[in-house]
Amino acid sequence: MQELRIHGRGGQGAVLASAILADALVEEGRHVMAIPAFGFERRGAPVVAFLRFDDRPIRRATNIYTPSLVVVIDPTVGRSVDVFAGTPAGTTVVQATGKKPEELALPSHLGRVAVCDAVHIALDVFRRPITNTIMLGAFAKATGLVSVESLVKALEHTDFRDAGLRQNIEAVQRGFDETVVRQLDGVAAA
């Protein structure tokens, strides 16, 4: 069973991203359980969403405390919350940032980091800093756990239509294409 935590800020669509990724994983025959963490949701406040997936049915409807996959869709939310909390050795972190991997302050136990200048892409594609679907493309590139094709199918299942759908498909593809992946020294989890 894989466990993923998505960090963002209220209004950026972290919860929607987890639902789209869940749908894409089901396209690939996986079982999923996506649960948004809840708090006093408001625009701009740190938000967390959880997603489990497995080849077998998932029974536990609980939050995730030790994710080995972390996606951070906002470049600054790491200043407000510890996005590495609970991560085991070998964890993969996918970070929205304009920085290069070597410019990030990362804990030594990570196994892989991927960076994507998602805000830049978002301003290009949407004219707004909405990074969630871009970071799904980045996740696909960084982990190989889901394909762009499945993400596109999942987008087609949402309420996105016409220009909105085309923009989000472009966002996923550009997120995939423009993500840089770097292996780190952290011991890979068994």
User: Which positions touch other proteins (CB under 8 A)?
Assistant: 15, 18-19, 22-23, 26, 31-36, 38, 58-63, 65, 154, 157
Hey, what are 5's tokens? Answer: 């935590």
CB of 147 vs other proteins, minimal distance in Å: 16
CB of 62 vs other proteins, minimal distance in Å: 5
CB of 186 vs other proteins, minimal distance in Å: 25
CB of 89 vs other proteins, minimal distance in Å: 20
* Comparison of 36 and 111: residue with beta carbon closer to other proteins: 36
Nearest Cα neighbor of 66 from 45, 90, 46, 47 is 90
Q: Which long-range contacts (CB under 8 A, 24 or more apart) does 12-16 make?
A: 12/47, 12/73, 12/74, 12/129, 12/130, 12/131, 12/132, 13/73, 13/130, 13/132, 13/133, 14/47, 14/48, 14/49, 14/73, 14/132, 15/47, 15/49, 16/132, 16/158
* Comparison of 62 and 76: residue with beta carbon closer to other proteins: 62
* Comparison of 23 and 117: residue with beta carbon closer to other proteins: 23
* Comparison of 63 and 183: residue with beta carbon closer to other proteins: 63
CB of 148 vs other proteins, minimal distance in Å: 18
CA distance linking residue 87 with residue 17, whole number of Å: 20
Q: Are strands 46-54 and 2-9 parallel, antiparallel or unpaired?
A: antiparallel
* Comparison of 1 and 187: residue with beta carbon closer to other proteins: 1
CA distance linking residue 33 with residue 18, whole number of Å: 10
Which residues sit opposite 181 in a β-bridge? Answer: 114
Using CA atoms of 187, 116, 64, 85 in order, give the dihedral in degrees to the nearest 10: 60
* Comparison of 27 and 178: residue with beta carbon closer to other proteins: 27
CB of 30 vs other proteins, minimal distance in Å: 9
